[in-house]
Structure 1
């Protein structure tokens, strides 16, 4: 019962914060508004989150952790670099669509995080990007992927589509999240494949 209550309070606070940050903006949302919308006390919120900053980080951290664990699973299975990269790209697109509200709020507000939190986000994203780059490098070494474009450009090419999902993706559109993920992945892989 205690564990269930714990989860409910943290989840309710997170849900309320996400909704308020997306409608009012991070800077225009107070802790008082969050606890009122969640139906909890400030004390209950502060039991799980040390600050509004901590709450914004937690919203994004869920998606980041999921994507990193999925990346680890996919790479652990092994296989040819192009197959692994395809699976990773489809996964990151699908999970980013699943967490579209979280990603939208985060990318709008990341610059408002404390310096320590920004460094932590940078560290976590760099860890993901380094693992992603290692897959591309494996494909370059085997002659599948082009090596005439800097790695930073190749990575930015794919992740710009991910980071700007909220600007162009609509859940009510004709394609499912999987179809969109596969289409974007196909375009990316075609663009980095070495011409024969």
Structure 2
């Protein structure tokens, strides 16, 4: 907590004025990120573009916003088990909304014939989100692969893996 309050330019007393515990701070950090990502995804999903373009945009946005908050996401993913049950349920609800929106977008592409339908849409989303959450184990935003390029690669891997292929 001392590192956190030092970086924020606050005292521990001031921090505890806003958050009752470290777990409350942890919850709010991740809840803010997932709410932001879900809202952005809903905007992208609601656009009138073709499903392939919306999935590509959604994938790139998810990667970029995760990288922009990489430390916070990684801390949350490694410490989420410490949250109170009500906080875990709140996070799970937000994650489920994100997952359901992304799954519906993939399913729309499957129904239109743009995407293969031999892989369940929710499995596609689980695999993609899991791979993005794994970035915290290896990715360095200051390294040779800038976030927009990383995002474009991840989006290409996703889309090329599910696009309908002419045989």
Alpha carbons 2:31, 2:94 under 8 Å: kept: no
Does residue 66 (structure 1) correspond to residue 36 (structure 2)? The answer is yes
Match in the other structure for 1:179: 149
Match in the other structure for 2:26: 56
Task: Give the Cα–Cα distance (whole angstroms) in 2 for the partners of residues 36 and 88 of structure 1.
Answer: 32
- Counting only pairs closer than 5 Å after superposition, residues 37-186 of structure 1 correspond to structure 2 as 38-42=9-13, 44-186=14-156
Q: Which segments of structure 1 move beyond 4 Å, counting only runs of 4 or more?
A: 34-38
Task: Give the Cα–Cα distance (whole angstroms) in 2 for the partners of residues 45 and 148 of structure 1.
Answer: 50
Alpha carbons 1:86, 1:189 under 8 Å: kept: yes
In structure 2, the CA distance between the partners of 1:36 and 1:100, relative to structure 1 (3 Å rule), is closer
Task: Give the Cα–Cα distance (whole angstroms) in 1 for the partners of residues 140 and 7 of structure 2.
Answer: 30
- Counting only pairs closer than 5 Å after superposition, residues 180-195 of structure 1 correspond to structure 2 as 180-195=150-165
Task: Give the Cα–Cα distance (whole angstroms) in 1 for the partners of residues 8 and 69 of structure 2.
Answer: 21
Task: Give the Cα–Cα distance (whole angstroms) in 2 for the partners of residues 163 and 193 of structure 1.
Answer: 23
Rg (Cα) greater in structure: 1
Q: CA RMSD in A?
A: 2.1
* Secondary structure of 1:164's aligned partner: helix
Higher relative contact order (CA closer than 8 Å, sequence separation 6+) = 2
In the alignment, structure 2 segments of 5+ residues that lack a partner are none
Alpha carbons 1:35, 1:45 under 8 Å: kept: no
* Secondary structure of 2:20's aligned partner: coil
